Amino acid sequence: MKISGILYWFFIICFAIQVLFSRDWMSLGEKTLLLALIPLLGASIVLFRKGTTEKMFGKIVISVFIVSGCLATLNSVHFADSKTASWGIWLYTASLLGLIWEVMGFWSRTDVRLNKKSGNAINLLVPFLFGGMLLYLWEMFTIGFQVPQVLLPAPSMIGVAFANSLGMLWADFQQTFLKAVLAGFFLGCCSGFVVAILVDKVPFLQRGLMPLGNMASALPIVGVAPIMVMWFGFDWHSKAAVVVMMTFFPMLVNTLTGLRSTERMELDMMHSYAADYWQMLFKVRLPNALPFIFNALKINSTLALIGAIVAEFFGTPIVGMGFRISTEIGRMNVDVVWASITVAALSGSLFYALLAFLERQLTGWHPSFRVS
C-alpha cells in the first residue's frame, strides 16, 4: 500500500476512535460537526475512487474538503476552554495533518509545463498551502493550550492588531522602508559597484581598499548605529548611513568576483577584435557578472532592512518599525510587535521577489537558468 493510502486510512481510523471516545469537541460551535465530517468524505472518495486526485477538478475538491476540517477544529478550539477541551480534537488534528501533507504532495507533483499561467498559479499555491498549515498549527496550539499572549499571541490576535493599526504601521513602513532602506540600499549598492569597477581598473586599489572593506564589513551594527545617529541626526538619514555601510562590501566583493569570472577564451576573442578595456567591460565582462551582481542585490535587500530596523533602536523620531518594536514590547503589546514584524517580513519578501524577477528577466540567458 502506498504511503498516501496509509495516510487516508490513518485519518479514517483516528476519526472513528475519537468519535467513539472523545467527540465532545464536535458539539462546540455552529456547523462544527458538518465541517468535521467533510474530510472523512474526501478521504473515502480518494480511497475508493482511484484517480480522483489526478484530475484538476478532483484536486480542487479534495483540497476544499481538507480545509473544511481545519475550519472545524479552529471553530471548536475557540469555543473550548480548559474544562471542555478533549484529546479527540488533537487526535483529529494530527490525522488531518497527514491529509494536508498529501494535498501539498499531489499539488507539487502536478505537471506545470503544459500551461504557463496555471503552472505559475500552482507554483504559488504550494508555498501558500505550506504557510497556511503553519499558521493553522500556530493558531491551534496557542488557543488550544492557552499560551499567554505576552509569550506568543495567536495569528488571529495579530491580524486584529494589524487591522486596528494600519495607519500607524503605514507611517512606520514609510519611515523605515521607503526612506531609510531604499535610500541606503541604492547608495550602498551603487557605490560598491562603482568602486568595484575602479578596483578592477586600478590594481593597487585592491591591495589598499580590500582590507579596509573587510574591516568595515566586520563592524557591529550596535556599535555603528549610535555613531551614525550622532553624525546624521535622529531622522532616517542616520539609518540610511548604516544601511550603506552594510550593503557596500557585499556589492563590492560580488561585482569583483563576477568581473573575474569571464573565461580567458572570451577575452582573447575580444582582443582579436582589437577591443579596448571599456568595450570588453560593457560587452562581455559586465554581462557575465550580472548573476553575481544580482546575488549581491538579493543579499543586500535583507541586510538593508535588518540594518535599518536595528539602527532605529538607538534613536529615531516617534515612528519607524524598529521604534515600534522596541516601544510596544516595553508596553507588553506583543500583538502589535508581531504586526510590525509582519510588515517587515512582507516588505522584505516582496523586495527580494522583485529583485529575483528582474534577475530572471535580465539573466535568463545564463546557463544556470537554462539548466534549471
322 and 189 within one domain? yes
Residue 168 in grid coordinates: 500607524
Distances (CA, A) of 278 to 196, 271, 351: 14, 12, 32
Q: Give me the residue label for grid cell 578596483.
A: 199
What is the reported pLDDT for 366?
66
Same domain? For 39 and 175 the reply is no
For residue 43, tell me if it sits in a domain.
yes
Q: Is the dihedral of CA 166, 169, 175, 181 positive or negative?
A: negative
Q: Average the pLDDT over 48-68 and give the result.
A: 85
pLDDT reported for residue 151: 86
Residue 158 lies in a domain: no
> Tens digit of pLDDT for each residue in 317-369?
788 898 899 888 888 888 899 999 999 999 999 999 999 888 888 877 766 66
**Locate cell 531622522: which residue?**
235
Domain C-terminal end among 119, 147, 175: 147
Integer Cα distance of 289 and 68 in angstroms: 50
- Identify whether 155 is part of a domain: no
Distance from the Cα of residue 206 to its chain's centroid: 36
Question: Is 15 within 8 Å of 71 (Cβ atoms)?
Answer: no
* DSSP labels, 27-56: GSSTTHHHHHHHHHHHHHHHHHSTTGGGSH
For residues 267 and 300, is the Cβ–Cβ distance under 8 A? no
In a domain, 153, yes or no: no
pLDDT score for 231? 85
Please indicate, yes or no, whether residues 245 and 101 belong to a single structural domain of this protein. no
pLDDT in tens, 115-156: 666 777 777 888 888 889 999 999 999 988 888 888 889 999
| pLDDT for res 134 | 93
* Final residue of a structural domain among 147, 176, 196: 147
CB atoms within 10 A of CB 339: 28
Tell me how many domains the chain contains: 2
| 76: number of Cβ within 10 Å | 27
Please list the alpha-helical segments (H only) found in the chain. Answer: 3-21, 32-48, 56-79, 87-108, 116-144, 155-164, 166-173, 182-201, 203-217, 221-232, 236-259, 264-272, 277-280, 286-311, 321-330, 334-362, 367-371
Host domain of residue 61: 3-147
* Cα-trace Rg, the chain: 27
Q: Check residue 81 and give its pLDDT.
A: 62
What is the per-residue DSSP string for 94-161? Answer: HHHHHHHHHHHHHHHTS--SS-HHHHHHHHHHHHHHHHHHHHHHHHHHHHHTT--TTT---HHHHHHH
pLDDT tens digits for range 61-79: 989 999 999 999 998 888 7
Contact 347, 177 (CB under 8 A): yes
* CATH number of the structural domain spanning residue 338: 1.10.3720.10
Q: Stretch 25-31: mean pLDDT, rounded?
A: 79
Q: Express each pLDDT in 164-213 by its tens digit.
A: 989 999 999 999 999 899 999 999 999 999 988 888 887 777 776 777 76
Which of 123, 147, 171 lies at the terminal end of a domain, its last residue?
Answer: 147
For residue 96, the model assigns a pLDDT of 92
Question: 221-274, pLDDT tens digit by residue?
Answer: 777 888 888 888 888 888 899 999 889 888 988 888 888 877 677 666 766 766
Shared domain for 66 and 173, answered yes or no, is no
Q: Does pLDDT of 371 surpass 60? A: no
Q: Among 245, 284, 291, which residue's Cα sits nearest to residue 267?
A: 284
- C-beta separation of 264 from 285 below 8 A: no
Q: Is 287 within a domain? A: yes
Cβ(48)–Cβ(54) below 8 Å: no
- CA quadruple 356, 360, 362, 364: dihedral, nearest 10: 150
Same domain? 108 vs 19: yes
Give yes or no for a contact between 359 and 291, defined as CB atoms under 8 angstroms apart. Answer: yes
134: cell is 503553519
**Cβ atoms 74, 36 nearer than 8 A:** no
pLDDT number for residue 68: 93
Same-domain check for residues 188 and 92: no
Domain identity same for 136 and 186: no
For the cut 50, the answer to whether the pLDDT of residue 1 exceeds it is: no
**23 and 113 assigned to the same domain:** yes
- pLDDT of amino acid 24: 83
Q: Would residue 158 be called left, alpha or beta, if left means φ above 0 and alpha means ψ between -120 and 50 degrees?
A: alpha
pLDDT of 4 above 70? no
173 lies in the same domain as 299: yes
CA distances from 293 to 242, 250, 310 (A): 21, 9, 25
Q: What pLDDT does residue 97 have?
A: 92
